[in-house]
Structure 1
């Protein structure tokens, strides 16, 4: 089937692989960077709705494809693992069955601000479980950020696996690159270091802070008292 077609998916209809694009998942006006283009799309027979990911314009499609392929092996209830990948010779994309959800930044916008503390705690616990499973598989997520978290009715899903590795190879500074949210990008990854599990914990702390305050790098006194120790432990080096 064809790869990514249409004017950067700005106009509808467009196609990605065998799927007809319905709309973007993310708000283009959001100030929170998103590491990939994400779309809701339908199968040709109209029977299936999927969430499709494709590289950002101007980024390396080969590295995106490598990380999408690795993400298929993610385990756990909270992992947003692709179930379908582009074929040989196609521009890269990945897809998974669509579960009604909102990106975390959109969830905060709909809520009208930071999420309630019990919700933030539940979110943090689920993301911690997801990362624990990843690390037990010998994998570093390297893509934890507010936009990587999709909030569904039964809990979050963690996507954007390998976003830092896809953005630039090890040894190349990643600070300021498209799609990478600076507050949740671990300092060593920003400087070009190899992503490691401790970096995932750093990013987890930034995401918890974001859910609780609307900022990945908030002033300490803006965090709920009960969350300050958790966030500080994640961000410590």
Structure 2
């Protein structure tokens, strides 16, 4: 968590912005609160240069709708997330060009922040992390959706278990930029063998990326994705992963997730059961994070509560706090994208590997909560 910068917005609809939480290639997340509600919220605001593109706006809105459907809170997303907040809150924004969503704030670190702070996670924490993600994947795949939204910076480690910060390629993008002619370029940090071959990702693609994340959480490095980005596609497509540093009890499951042929990978339900038969939530009861990470999460929550109580923006990070905009080590997977960018013209339909699933509505308003617990 860090102080606001000079050009950061100070309000979104009814929400007063208190601090920066973290940023990604496509958006910035802020800690905020409304005067009529006691709890903090997270505002996810699209970068203005991207929000100006019709193709980006459609994708942003479609991914917000997908996240909302998967969590099951409402049949249709609204700009407001709290029951006592007006549903037309987004219309109160001082800048009609702002594109943003609001969701409940939960103190947490991204997986990239956690690994950068304390190094690899203990095996039990890796099991809980993987089981929680796999449970959400299983729910998503049952609806016919493919997330494409897994990356070290889209996975949150909260005190009560893992959470996902966003669904879809915009959340997991290692790079997103406007191109001449109104084109949008989105480059994912992790590709899969089938994507390298030019095929559309399916449910098994999410399992491949989950295998990469499990290895990263357990070792601090990512098989196949670390190293020179220019060689990444070749490694993903043809190189066998080196898993010697992965704990022996997890090695076989990670290897099966990283099979080159999608049909050879396990289902999300199988992964969830093998990692935590009693479920991620049950296994996480009583604490699951290493002491240093649990303390950092608690400190972040305390600072957020103080800011909400005072109603004043946070001026500077407390000593020893973890900067929320940190995305891990410079050589980490968040900074080592593989594969070529996927370009889409501004008037393209929302389809293909970096768009919403086939049939996904692209004209729904933004506003679905983007920080969601993994049930």
Asked if 1:24 is matched to 2:23, the reply is no
Match of 2:116 among 93, 99, 109: 109
- Structure 1 unaligned spans of 5+: 1-8, 169-175
Match of 2:201 in 1: 195
Range with greater deviation from structure 2 (12-21 or 113-122): 12-21
Equivalent positions of 1:82-121 (< 5 A) are 84=79, 87=90, 91-110=98-117, 112-121=118-127
Q: How does 1:158-169 map to 2 (within 5 A)?
A: 158-163=164-169
Q: Distance in 1 between matches of 2:243 and 2:168?
A: 29
TM-score normalised per structure 1: 0.74
Deviation at 1:164, TM superposition (A): 5.3
Q: How does the TM-score come out when normalised to structure 2?
A: 0.49
Match of 1:224 in 2: 247
Change (3 A) 1:107 1:206: same
Q: Which has the higher contact order (CA 8 A, sep 6+)?
A: 2
Task: Determine the C-alpha separation between the residues in 1 that align with 2:110 and 2:134.
Answer: 18
Q: Give the superposition deviation at 1:98.
A: 0.9
2: distance between equivalents of 1:190 and 1:35?
Answer: 23
Instruction: Judge which range, 66-75 or 46-55, deviates more.
Output: 46-55
Which residue number corresponds to residue 210 of structure 1? 216
- Note the alpha carbon deviations across 1:96-127, whole angstroms, 9 max, x for none: 111111111112233x2011111101111111
> C-alpha deviations, 1:60-93, integer Å up to 9, x for none?
233112211221111389xxxx774674765321
Do the aligned partners of 2:126 and 2:214 also contact (CA within 8 Å) in 1? yes
Change (3 A) 1:84 1:233: farther
Counting only pairs closer than 5 Å after superposition, residues 34-183 of structure 1 correspond to structure 2 as 36-45=27-36, 47-56=38-47, 58-59=49-50, 60-75=56-71, 84=79, 87=90, 91-110=98-117, 112-163=118-169, 177=186, 180-181=188-189
Deviation string for 1:144-163 (max 9, x for gaps)? 11111111111111232112
Is contact 1:63-1:166 (8 Å) kept?
no
Aligned residue pairs total: 209
Following superposition, the deviation at residue 39 of structure 1 comes to 1.9
User: What are the Cα deviations for residues 127-147 of structure 1, in whole angstroms up to 9, with x where unaligned?
Assistant: 111111111122211111111
Between the aligned partners of 2:39 and 2:66, the Cα distance in structure 1 is 24
Q: Report the alpha carbon displacement of residue 165 of structure 1 after superposing the two structures with TM.
A: 9.3
Aligned mates of 1:166, 1:208 — CA distance in 2: 16
